[in-house]
Structure 1
Amino acid sequence: MGAPKLWRGRTLDDRSAERREQLVDVGVDLLGSGGSAAVTMRAVTRLANLSPRYFYENFDDRRALVIAVYDRLETELRTRLSAVAPDTDPQGTVRSALEICATYFEEDPRRARVLLREPLTDDTLREHSAGRLPLFLRTVVPALGDDMDALLPNSEEALVISATALSGALVALYVDWIDGRLPVPRDRLVDAATEIVLSLARTGTQPRPGDPESDIVEP
């Protein structure tokens, strides 16, 4: 088999990959600035200065592009969180992870809209994340390492309840902060977010009345 054909030193696959990244770049700007309604094939190709042919070369429809934008930003955040080393104190581990989240959103508020706000209202992103743990648990929990079991609820039901409560609280906290409705320094925001995580985790691990553990009487 011969070598791949080159055009200005690049293969056809290279050029296709570059066009895809260019389209996703534009998608980040549109979705992060104007929401899902702003992401149309015409708007994307116009801003990318590409023909519709190249859009459909990479994406079946606008929904596929919206998902690609979300996945790119989530992967970026996960990569940053992978650098968090588990601390001997679980609170330190959680705080480090949540500070990374705050910094990531502060650097570019469009990221917060894509990862936090749009999944609440956009059917495509809601469906895309259905069946998975909410964003903050899917990012904070892996960062906990060996401390994870000590902080997570010990039943499936408690996990679902805590995950829903935790996600809602943290999304509201970070979105209000990014939008300027919560005018506090980043350190204060991270302290509050950390306390929310640890408080809900402690609540989830406590036995409820009627549970076998709650019937144990200490001597």
Structure 2
Amino acid sequence: MDAVTAQRTYGGVSAAERKAQRRTALLDAALEIVGEDGQAKLTVAGLCARAGLNERYYYENFEHRDAVLEAVLDRIAEELTAAIVTALAGAAPDSRAQAHAAIHAGTSVLIDDPRKARAALIAGMATPELRARTARTVRAFARLVAAQGSGFYQVEIAQNIVDFRALYLVGGLTQTLTTWLAGDLDLTREQLVDQITDVFVLLGDDLAGRR
């Protein structure tokens, strides 16, 4: 084994793999801190201590403190997208079954792990930069809803109208879920999913019927 290979590989793990493992450890630690103690408690020193890493490894991956939280939010968004797409693929081909499957899968990601809900729905609004990032994420999910709806209904509808309804639905879902998680909406989990499903189906079926 030459010197370059020895430097790159240690214990059968490459330098790239070790870097990825450190990044994952930092993201996991950030989610724990934000989810348990709030975004204000997220410091580089505290994060690295929780992850069991030297601070230099933080700056190996992130430029500033909020960068790790941004990465956590991106990871949650990716998990949400994967859960929704998988649920849609396995649901019956009718509007209510599709909507219910997607909403149940998406909300479960956040409800089943309250740390993710706190990070995505609360910490994601903590600074102007994070609010702007959250707004972009909402728009991205609205585009997903618009694309799925257009593919499902297969009708010609003005794109600006489709985009408006999709953004309205995703924005409303986000605010409703935030309120429910805070305990300010008297619905069971099943009722919450059913009510959100009703609204999605109502606006989707109505728009398709206006073609």
After TM superposition, is the score higher than 0.5? yes
Range 25-34 or range 41-50, more displaced: 25-34
Q: Alpha-carbon deviation of 1:176?
A: 2.5
Residue 152 of structure 2 corresponds to residue 147 of structure 1 = yes
Q: Alpha-carbon deviation of 1:26?
A: 0.8
Q: What's the secondary structure of 1:50's corresponding residue?
A: coil
1:109 — aligned with what?
114
Q: Deviations over 1:133-172 (max 9, x none)?
A: 536535544555721555x96242x345434432332112
More helix by share: 2
Q: Alpha-carbon deviation of 1:41?
A: 1.1
Distance (Å, rounded) in 2 between the aligned partners of 1:66 and 1:202:
38
Matches within 5 A, 1:67-216: 67-83=70-86, 84-85=88-89, 87-131=92-136, 133-134=138-139, 136-141=141-146, 143-144=148-149, 146-147=151-152, 150=155, 154-156=158-160, 158-159=161-162, 161-201=164-204
Distance (Å, rounded) in 1 between the aligned partners of 2:121 and 2:140:
8
Q: 1:117 to 1:195 in 2, by over 3 A?
A: farther
Q: Flag structure 1 segments of 5+ consecutive residues without an equivalent.
A: 208-212, 214-219
Q: 1:7 to 1:59 in 2, by over 3 A?
A: same
- TM-score normalised to structure 2 length: 0.80
Q: 1:142 to 1:122 in 2, by over 3 A?
A: farther
Aligned residues: 206
Q: What's the secondary structure of 1:79's corresponding residue?
A: helix
Q: Looking at CA atoms only, which structure, 1 or 2, has the larger radius of gyration?
A: 1
Distance (Å, rounded) in 1 between the aligned partners of 2:196 and 2:31:
26
2:11 — aligned with what?
8
Distance (Å, rounded) in 1 between the aligned partners of 2:183 and 2:83:
24
Q: Flag structure 2 segments of 5+ consecutive residues without an equivalent.
A: none
Q: Deviations over 1:99-122 (max 9, x none)?
A: 112222221012122223333443
Contact 2:143 2:166 in 1 (8 A): no
Q: What's the secondary structure of 1:4's corresponding residue?
A: helix
Distance (Å, rounded) in 1 between the aligned partners of 2:140 and 2:118:
13
